[in-house]
Amino acid sequence: MFLNEVHDQLCSAELSKLFEGEGDQLNPESLPKINTIIQGGINDLNKRFSIRENEVLVRPKLGKELYELIPANALSSGNPDAFIIDDASNPFVGDIMQIFRITDVHGCSMWLNQDIAVMHPVDNIFGNRPSIFTYEGINLTAYNTLKLPHDFGTGDLLVQYKAKMKPLNTSVPPDQCYIDLPDHFLNALVWYVASRKYNPMGAETIGRGMFHEGNNYWSKYIEECNDLKANLGSIASTGETTNFQRNGWV
C-alpha cells in the first residue's frame, strides 16, 4: 500500500470529525505528527505479526566468543575486525528485532539458549571411543548478541531474524511513499492511528455514561489483529523438529 491510501482513509472516516481531516485532504500542518503515528502503527503491527524477515552471515573468529550484530561489525563499515559478511550493495543495517534460527555450514539448526553436551569419538590405542564432550549450544546474551562455545571453531553461521520495518520515506509525495505492509492491514493501521489521535482527548459524557472514542478505536484495532491472526495474516517460518536427535535416532 501507499501512504496516500492511509491518508485518504483517515480523512474520509476516522479523522473526519477532527481538525486534521476537515477538508478533502488531511491538513498539511498535521501530516508530520500523523505520519509519526502511522510509523508507530506499522511498527506495532510488525511486533504482533511476522511481516518482515531477514538473514545475515556471521564468520566466527578463533578465540572470540561474543558477537554483537551491529553495522559497525560488518565488512561494509570498513572495520578490519568485522565478522558480519556483507557488501556495499546490500549492507547490514542492524534491523534485528528477534533472532529465531541459526544454521551452520551444513544447513543444520543450532541449539539456541540451551547448551547441549555431545560426545565425540577420539583416536587412542584402543580405537575410536566416544570419550570427549563438547558443547554446541549458542546463547543469546542480548537480542542481537551471540555467545558461542569457546571451542566452536570458525564455521560460518547463517543468522535468520525477525526484521524491523523500513521507515516511511516522507521526502517523496504520499502517492509515491510505499509502505512495506500488505493491504489487508489497512483497517488495523487506521484504527491504531485513530486510537492514538483520540486518546489524549479523554472521555466524553453521554447521558449518564462515559464514552471514550480512543478506547473504542483501540478495541477495534485489537479485534482486527486477532481476526488477522486467525486468518493467517502473517508469514510463518517453517519449523523443524529435533525429536529424532533428542531421542538418539540420528
pTM: 0.75
Instruction: Calculate the alpha carbon distances from 169 to 56, 127, 179, 180, 184 in Å.
Output: 24, 65, 9, 11, 21
Q: Which residue has the higher pLDDT, 194 or 207?
A: 194
Amino acid identity for residue 120 in this structure: H
- Whether the per-residue pLDDT at 207 is higher than 80: the answer is no
Q: What is the pLDDT of residues 211-233, one digit of tens each?
A: 567 688 899 999 999 999 888 65
- Whether the per-residue pLDDT at 240 is higher than 70: the answer is no
Q: Contact at 8 Å (CB) between 3 and 17?
A: no
Q: Contact at 8 Å (CB) between 203 and 173?
A: no
Per-residue confidence band for 209, with pLDDT thresholds at 50, 70 and 90: very low
Q: Which residue has the higher pLDDT, 96 or 196?
A: 96
Q: What is the pLDDT of residues 85-123, one digit of tens each?
A: 999 899 999 999 999 999 988 888 888 887 665 555 666
Q: Which residue has the higher pLDDT, 79 or 63?
A: 79
Looking up cell 503491527 gives 45
β-bridge partners, 84: 58, 74
Q: What is the pLDDT of residues 137-147, one digit of tens each?
A: 788 999 999 99
